[in-house]
Amino acid sequence: MRNPYAHIVEPLDPKEPAKKIYNLCKLGDPRYARLPFSIRVLLEAAVRNCDEFLVKKDDVESILNWKETQTQSVEVPFKPARVILQDFTGVPAVVDFAAMRDAVKKLGGDPEKINPVCPADLVIDHSIQVDFNRNLLETLQKPLESLPGRPQVHTQQRLHTLQNWTICLPSLFHNDFLEGLAKTIAPLSLRKWGRAGRKLLAANIAEEEYLYSLCRPDSLQKNQDLEFERNKERFEFLKWGSKAFHNMRIIPPGSGIVHQVNLEYLARVVFDQDGFYYPDSLVGTDSHTTMIDGLGVLGWGVGGIEAEAVMLGQPISMVLPEVIGYKLLGSPGPLVTSTDIVLTVTKHLRQVGVVGKFVEFFGPGVAQLSIADRATIANMCPEYGATAAFFPVDHISVKYLEQTGRDEDKLNYITQYLKAVGMFRDFNDLSQDPDFTEVVELDLSTVVSCCSGPKRPQDKVAVTDMKKDFESCLGAKQGFKGFQVAPKHQTVSASFEYNGKEYKLSHGSVVIAAITSCTNTSNPSVMLGAGLLAKRAVQQGLSMKPYIKTSLSPGSGVVTYYLKESGVMDYLSQLGFEVVGYGCMTCIGNSGPLPEPVVEAITQNDLVAVGILSGNRNFEGRVHPNTRANYLASPLLVIAYAIAGTVCIDFETEPLGINPQGKKIFLRDIWPSRHEIQEVEREHVIPVMFKEVYEKIEKVNERWNELNSPSDKLYTWNPKSTYIKSPPFFDNLHYFLVLDVLTCPMLSRLQKLQKYHISPAGNIARNSPAARYLTGRGLTPREFNSYGSRRGNDAVMARGTFANIRLFNKFLNKQAPQTLHIPSEETLDVFDAAERYHQAGLPLLILAGKEYGSGSSRDWAAKGPFLLGIKAVLAESYERIHRSNLVGMGVIPLEYLPGDTAESLGLTGRERYTVVIPEKLTPRMIVDIKLDTGKTVKARMRFDTDVELTYFLNGGILNYMIRKMLEK
């Protein structure tokens, strides 16, 4: 059918009549100019895709009438311009596509019809782990006898002797070696280098190549080698997918974090495709997809299941959201970082309540923020609960595109198009301010230096209060702000030996310090700030304890480029913050092992050890099993707390450390100002860096280039594989719908579990059901890898569902990845209990509290429960993406009526539940739940739209899509 809005199509430039736009200003509707800029993006997509089938004129009218419809739960379709995936969530998406091809062939269809319809980019960034760090310094502190083929001379003695010498290197060594050696021993303040020095080297080292190997920081290479060793099978599968499926681009490992690569390289801002210009927009299989909102590209995270439907050409069905206008005023103080701003915004918006809403930033304060600052704020959108955190495009956005090496022609049409359709913003022009549902304000001058923790990103703590807050948390009742340590145990400490020297740990000791994650490593201001702080720390003679696991995982190669060019990289390395990989590492749980003496000291004395990271999530058990307290902080504060070695420090009155001359060095002595950082950024962050890095991004990884992958259109599943397995989702799929399930009462056993510990993530515990499965397949613990790397294997993932060690199950009234099997009264791992219920023919139900699914936006948080036999969840409220994923898997999301909870209704978890499903279903209808005690309770069925009901009736969204493909 012809688009009913074809009359507003016109060339953007009369000189290029083939390049057209849908000019929304030509709608002649005064409501358009009052719409929030984020809603204008939804409107343009609806107008351009209007076919009176998937998108109707009524949908366009609903969006235009947003001021009235925003509070009416009106459903509208949205067709994003593209999809972005990372490998943890991307692998199961490609597995599902491969399985869908098999299903279509089995049902007599053409399997090659299963392809992404809209562009899809997959960035491999979640597979690398911090196995190696601080290699050089630690190697130099070990006896040479521990190194192959070397005499027993303790390296510390060698360094002590070398400290009396200077670098006056002879022609004994080649230039590359000299450069590496100079960088290694220059910080040792050597005063002389002569014949005795050469003799010492000859006696202790034997040949120049060996010393050169010590002088080359190789944590990065070793971690990347291990990444390929562990994930070769996954990578081969993804490379097969890049060839088998059209319209899918794979960015190889070692390139950077998906959100930063998206920001710096993949983002179009305005699409130029099929003869039309239109706004860039996207959904992604990572909740922090919202980071791209900082550049003026509307995007948010969805479940992998929902993303797959978009890839297949389906619109997202969404409830038209309220839009909170967040007005920024003033300017940040000279010592404030963008991290401080985002943690302040996160706590503020949590208090305001923005779950399920858009947040749109406006006001003169926005003009004071760089795109990197805006992207940092937008990145943590899931932590304050909003769907999107939108910064409309302005002149600073265009300057950023220029800075990151975008072509001048693109910059011209981006600016011209957005101005033509009324989507270009001037934050100092009050007349452009649109209507909002509600306006809240933040004066940037009131922001102070802060962290968040110890267990949630919204629990902001001013740095001035950190010591007092942590000490308060120690004795507080177990919870988000409490560890319930008995008073007599709060002063306990533990001694241990590491590399021949004795150290002490106590509550609050830092054992992990990671500059990591998409949140901050995309931001030159905080990265260069960290470098300047490290430089001054080294110059003042400060260092950090060697047992602290330090790491630096830049968001892209550009970060390393400008850290080196500005001269701060060496100082970061000297403090232990070597580049260990390019990807999402510590923040996602890929923190790697801690030294065994550290682990023993923590576990044997039940210490509350600390991880400090520049990430966006710090839920207990996520970062590392042995760090019960985890704080989010700017990269600068990560270094500061690592030098201090504890969070039990008042930076105002206590020194970071004492230098070799006996002088106390305070944090204020080495902290760079915002102005100083901006000067360095202006000089060293330049377009040529971005062009050089991204021109070769898809071909630079030689190991990726050498991977062999089949060229068949159908994937040949390996039955011995423990990484890639054909999922059982389509095993019983029929061409025609089977609806008898709707007329049957559903019996289910209660599993009473709280919040966000659903999806398998992090390392696979040796005593877990997943470990037993892998061991039974002949694998050793060293070969387990992480849950994230095995998301392509449903057998592992089902066993890892609800396997988080910090899961609090009220059946047991303690933290454990276990539950009570009612008939036998046995305490079992959740998977083992589910297996027993399955053998007894009993489907399952979960009782949950508020925001069920928070922190688990992944599709396996829904697929896993589905495979455990869970047919419904009854919760007080849901995290947005998780509810959508439950619907996508055909699991019923039930919600207590206002004022009801499990406690108020007297539910114990030992009852048997029958969910009465009427023959005629309507969105958000109220249904009866009958208990075997004779009691009936009511709950709302959270299928929010007719489309979601359609997915449920088909047994899930993928089943629906297969049937649609077969109809064609």
pLDDT tens digits for range 393-451: 999 999 999 999 999 999 999 999 999 999 999 999 999 999 999 999 999 999 999 99
At a CB cut-off of 8 Å and minimum separation 6, what does 624 contact?
512, 586, 589, 591, 594, 611
Return the higher-pLDDT residue of 585 and 343: 343
Tell me how far CA of residue 888 lies from CA of 6, 336, 582, 737, in angstroms.
Answer: 34, 43, 32, 16
pLDDT higher than 80, residue 15: yes
Beta bridge partners of 551: 514
What angle, rounded to 10 degrees, do the helices at 880-888 and 860-867 form?
Answer: 40
pLDDT higher than 90, residue 240: yes
Please state, in angstroms and rounded to a whole number, the distance separating the CA atoms of residues 406 and 409.
9
Question: Tokens representing 422?
Answer: 């009324």
Question: Tokens representing 591?
Answer: 């923190």
Residue 736 has a pLDDT of: 57
Please state, in angstroms and rounded to a whole number, the distance separating the CA atoms of residues 215 and 220.
14
Please state, in angstroms and rounded to a whole number, the distance separating the CA atoms of residues 458 and 386.
13
Query: What's the whole-number mean pLDDT along residues 927-939?
Result: 93
Please state, in angstroms and rounded to a whole number, the distance separating the CA atoms of residues 28 and 11.
18
The model carries a pTM of 0.81
Contact 321, 437 (CB under 8 A): no
Tell the residue number behind the tokens 């801690």, with chain if given: 594
Contact 938, 927 (CB under 8 A): yes
Contact 76, 45 (CB under 8 A): no
Flag the least confident range among 362-366, 730-734, 953-957: 730-734
What angle, rounded to 10 degrees, do the helices at 674-684 and 524-539 form?
Answer: 110
Residue 639 has a pLDDT of: 98
Tell me how far CA of residue 593 lies from CA of 576, 599, 722, in angstroms.
Answer: 16, 9, 22
Residue 204 has a pLDDT of: 43
Please state, in angstroms and rounded to a whole number, the distance separating the CA atoms of residues 880 and 401.
32
The tens digit of pLDDT for each residue in 302-330 reads: 878 888 889 988 898 888 999 999 999 99
At a CB cut-off of 8 Å and minimum separation 6, what does 15 contact?
none
Return the higher-pLDDT residue of 915 and 881: 915
Buried b / exposed e across 224-237, counting CB within 10 Å, b at 16+? bebbbebbeebbbb
Question: Rounded mean pLDDT of the chain?
Answer: 86
Question: Tokens representing 244?
Answer: 């088998």
Considering only the C-alpha atoms of the chain, give the largest distance between any 2 of them, rounded to a whole number of Å. 94
Angle at 912 between CA 907 and CA 917, to 5 degrees: 100
Please state, in angstroms and rounded to a whole number, the distance separating the CA atoms of residues 851 and 610.
26
Residue 176 has a pLDDT of: 40
Question: Tokens representing 680?
Answer: 């360095």
Q: How many CB atoms lie within 10 A of CB 312?
A: 21
Tell me how far CA of residue 788 lies from CA of 88, 125, 624, 747, 948, in angstroms.
Answer: 5, 11, 14, 32, 28
**Single-letter residue type at 310:** V
Question: Tokens representing 60?
Answer: 């366009």
The tens digit of pLDDT for each residue in 350-409 reads: 999 998 899 999 999 999 999 999 999 999 999 998 999 999 999 999 999 999 999 999
Question: Tokens representing 871?
Answer: 């047919």
Contact 595, 498 (CB under 8 A): yes
281-284 and 936-941 beta bridge pairing: unpaired
The tens digit of pLDDT for each residue in 713-729 reads: 999 999 999 999 999 99
Give the total residue count for the chain. Answer: 968
At a CB cut-off of 8 Å and minimum separation 6, what does 953 contact?
737, 739, 742, 921
Question: Tokens representing 928?
Answer: 């009866």
pLDDT higher than 60, residue 182: no
Please state, in angstroms and rounded to a whole number, the distance separating the CA atoms of residues 871 and 868.
9
The tens digit of pLDDT for each residue in 563-584 reads: 999 999 999 999 999 999 888 8
Please state, in angstroms and rounded to a whole number, the distance separating the CA atoms of residues 502 and 495.
7
Please state, in angstroms and rounded to a whole number, the distance separating the CA atoms of residues 454 and 480.
7
Contact 112, 713 (CB under 8 A): yes
Nearest of 596, 582, 584, 510 to residue 545 by alpha carbon:
510
Residue 746 has a pLDDT of: 29
Flag the least confident range among 179-188, 281-290, 627-636: 179-188
Angle at 300 between CA 294 and CA 306, to 5 degrees: 160
Residue 216 has a pLDDT of: 39
Please tell me the chain's helix, strand, coil percentages from 3-state DSSP, rounded to the nearest 5: 40, 15, 40
Query: What's the whole-number mean pLDDT along residues 666-678?
Result: 95
Q: Which helix (H) or strand (E) holds 812?
A: none
460-462 and 501-506 beta bridge pairing: unpaired
pLDDT higher than 80, residue 164: no
User: Residue 200: phi, psi to the nearest 5?
Assistant: -65, -45
Q: Count the alpha carbons within 13 Å of 215 in the hemisphere toward its beta carbon.
A: 19
Nearest of 630, 646, 641, 645 to residue 806 by alpha carbon:
630
Q: Count the alpha carbons within 13 Å of 367 in the hemisphere toward its beta carbon.
A: 12
Tell the residue number behind the tokens 């206008």, with chain if given: 325
pLDDT higher than 70, residue 50: yes
Question: Tokens representing 799?
Answer: 């066993």
Flag the least confident range among 533-537, 653-657, 928-932: 928-932
Nearest of 748, 770, 795, 776 to residue 911 by alpha carbon:
748
Contact 803, 830 (CB under 8 A): yes
Region of 805 (left: φ > 0; alpha: ψ -120 to 50; beta: rest) is alpha
pLDDT higher than 70, residue 663: yes
Question: Tokens representing 618?
Answer: 């710090």
Please state, in angstroms and rounded to a whole number, the distance separating the CA atoms of residues 589 and 618.
10
Contact 823, 808 (CB under 8 A): no
pLDDT higher than 90, residue 585: no
CA 161, chain centre distance (Å): 46
Nearest of 819, 770, 821 to residue 799 by alpha carbon:
770
pLDDT higher than 60, residue 844: yes
**C-alpha gyration radius of the chain:** 28
Question: Tokens representing 750?
Answer: 């209660």
Residue 532 has a pLDDT of: 97
Q: Which helix (H) or strand (E) holds 390?
A: strand 388-390
Please state, in angstroms and rounded to a whole number, the distance separating the CA atoms of residues 16 and 870.
57
Tell the residue number behind the tokens 């039930």, with chain if given: 894
- pLDDT band per the 50, 70, 90 thresholds, residue 208: very low
Please state, in angstroms and rounded to a whole number, the distance separating the CA atoms of residues 837 and 865.
13
Q: Count the alpha carbons within 13 Å of 559 in the hemisphere toward its beta carbon.
A: 35
At a CB cut-off of 8 Å and minimum separation 6, what does 506 contact?
491, 492, 493, 494, 607, 646, 648
Please state, in angstroms and rounded to a whole number, the distance separating the CA atoms of residues 455 and 629.
6
Nearest of 385, 391, 457 to residue 615 by alpha carbon:
457
Q: Is the peptide bond before 593 cis (omega within 30 degrees of 0)?
A: no
The tens digit of pLDDT for each residue in 556-567 reads: 999 999 999 999
Quick one: CA torsion of 825, 827, 829, 834, rounded to 10 degrees?
Answer: 10
